[in-house]
Amino acid sequence: MISAQVLALIDNAFLSLVGSAIPASTVVLLAATGAMLGERVGVLNLGQEGLIGVGAVYAVIAVLSWGITSPWLALLIGMAAAALAGLIFAVAVVVFRANQVLVGLALALGGVGLSNQLGTNRNGTPIQNTFQEVSLGGSFEDGSVLEAFLFHDPIVYLAYIAMPVALWFLLFRTRHGMNMRAVGENPAAADAVGVSVMRSRLGYTVLGAALSGAGGAYMVLSFTPTWSPDIARGRGWVALAVVIFAGWRPGWVVAGALLYGSMISLDTTAQARGWELPFFGPSDLSFFLSMLPYVVTLIAILIPAGAAKIGRRVRATAAPGALAIPYWREER
């Protein structure tokens, strides 16, 4: 009897943790999906941090300086700006075959620098035209677990339900998706059967960049509706880790993003409940918990890889075979 009560309590706490992680994870989910799309065709875009920044700052500029009142339009503008940045990256690494790691880091640095510079005069100005929450199933009491799951803005539903399903279908149920995967695994083979490696890589890198930009725009149009410097705060890097954790599968990207988000909301939960860290002062738990999302993300990458090496039964989900390798037709 007691155990059932305890179980229910744990259950409830767990559900509310995951529920409150949903908005916190959306940025990472969008960026990770964008990164995964590029990596599926063999392009590693380390510039996620910069793309989130560019998407966010142009959404802010659209609202505050260009007088855009619709959050949808602001989102599109942020996505377009990030797509443009992604196009520069894609031309450098796909057309000119420059080193993807170097140019990716350049995009991360340059994108963060550019967005911070553009955002300087807009620091802290609140954004009024945010996305509004819509209920997915009647009405419920404030603060209930159901509310945490079924009361969000439309971007959340798109990012958590529509996008992964659509991408799963595209990647694993269509010929086009098979061609995409072939380009990422073995571009020479794809090329031989007439798939344009360059077009596929350019297109999906740019589309992926637009999705990452949507993550940034979502941040300022819903999650924290104001500009602040270094707005991505490492989410871009976490997104890249989530892709590895997810084994390049759209559904698992959702799980990885939620894991990160749960760690973030653990901090607010702990503060609300007045938890304390043993042997330390009362304010130390927050510092400790702020390290946790990165540590947990790191461990989440290592465990499947290590398990695959140690136990033979676990199959490792390998990266696309041609990831980060430029394709030269005459070297095949």
Q: How far is the CB of 53 from other proteins (least distance, A)?
A: 10
Name which of 317, 320, 316 is nearest 307 in CA terms: 316
Q: Which two tokens stand for residue 104?
A: 């990716």
Q: Residue 46 or 210: which CB sits closer to other proteins?
A: 46
* CB of 37 vs other proteins, minimal distance in Å: 17
Contact with other proteins (CB under 8 A) among 15, 73, 87, 105: 105
E strands, 59-217, where? 134-135, 151-152
Does position 258 interact with other proteins (CB under 8 A)? The reply is no
Q: Is 319 in the site for other proteins (CB under 8 A)?
A: yes
Query: If you write DSSP's letter for every residue of 67-82 in order, what string do you get?
Result: ----HHHHHHHHHHHH
Q: Please report whether residue 198 would count as binding other proteins according to CB under 8 A.
A: yes
Q: Which residues pair with 126 in a beta bridge?
A: 226
The SS3 of residue 51 is helix
Q: Copy the structure tokens of residue 93.
A: 């690494």
Residue 46 to residue 268: CA distance in whole angstroms? 29
Element spanning 305, H or E: helix 284-310
Site string for other proteins, 261-280 (x = CB under 8 A): -------------------x
Q: Does 297 bind other proteins (CB under 8 A)?
A: yes
The verdict on 121 binding other proteins (CB under 8 A) reads no
Residue from 74, 244, 254, 322 touching other proteins (CB under 8 A): that is 244
Residue 295 within binding range of other proteins, rule CB under 8 A: yes
Q: Are 47 and 34 in contact (CB under 8 A)?
A: no
- Does position 255 interact with other proteins (CB under 8 A)? The reply is no
CA 72 to mean position of chain CA atoms: 19
Note whether 109 binds other proteins by CB under 8 A.
Answer: yes
Q: Which residue has the tokens 């039964």?
A: 313
Is residue 196 near other proteins by the rule CB under 8 A? yes
Q: Would you say 19 or 215 has its CB closer to other proteins?
A: 215
Between CA 285 and CA 283 the distance in angstroms is 6
For other proteins, the binding residue among 22, 63, 112, 220 (CB under 8 A) is 112
Rounded Cα distance between 38 and 20, Å, is 29
Residues in Cβ contact with 141 at an 8 Å cutoff, skipping those fewer than 6 apart: 147
- Cβ 70 to other proteins shortest distance, Å: 29
Q: How far is the CB of 211 from other proteins (least distance, A)?
A: 19
11 binds other proteins (CB under 8 A): no
Q: Which two tokens stand for residue 49?
A: 């941090």
H or E segment and range at residue 332: none
Q: Pick from 238, 246, 257, 263 the residue near other proteins by CB under 8 A.
A: 238
Would you tell me which residues interact with other proteins (CB under 8 A)?
A: 46, 50, 92, 96-99, 101-103, 105-114, 116-117, 120, 191, 196-198, 229, 234, 237-238, 240-241, 244, 280-281, 283-284, 287-288, 290-291, 294-295, 297-298, 301-302, 305-306, 308-309, 319, 327-331
